[in-house]
A and B are shown apart, each in its own frame.
Chain A
């Protein structure tokens, strides 16, 4: 079945550092890929998405590129802020037309220190 593997955390960075959170996936067909963010005490919010190979999703300075050849969707940000401290989840949605919902990775806790 479908699966998502994320780098294990926690990740601790200083403000303005470069961030990479690795995500790889296993799926049949052509899934859509997502990054969700969960701030303390809140539900998940969609951060960015990509629906086909070579698409780049971006939002709030975060980026991720859908790489079919390496089955990866790594999250990057050039300069993190304290307010980026949260848990980040990589997820996939099966091929178009499937009723099946999202499959999530285990999440990566990010802490940014001032």
Chain B
């Protein structure tokens, strides 16, 4: 069964460093998303991406964040200068575009620890 994959599973970085989180969405999906979940808190929407551009973004997704689909398979989230409060699980998700179903499929997540 197709699945969303994410790498790395755990990333430790120092405050102020840049990190890139990588995702491979399900191959025939056209909508891509990033979410974060701070330990013990709700899943929070960051950004959605369609047709090579951002379609929606939340107030969390400020200038420190960027997304890119550098090739036909990868979808990346970059945090330019990490802060302690960026420590969280980051989930990638994708959904198809049948016009009927926008069921989201999530990856296993990347745990980001900023020290």
Physical interaction between A and B: no
Instruction: List A residues at the B interface (Cβ < 8 Å).
Output: none
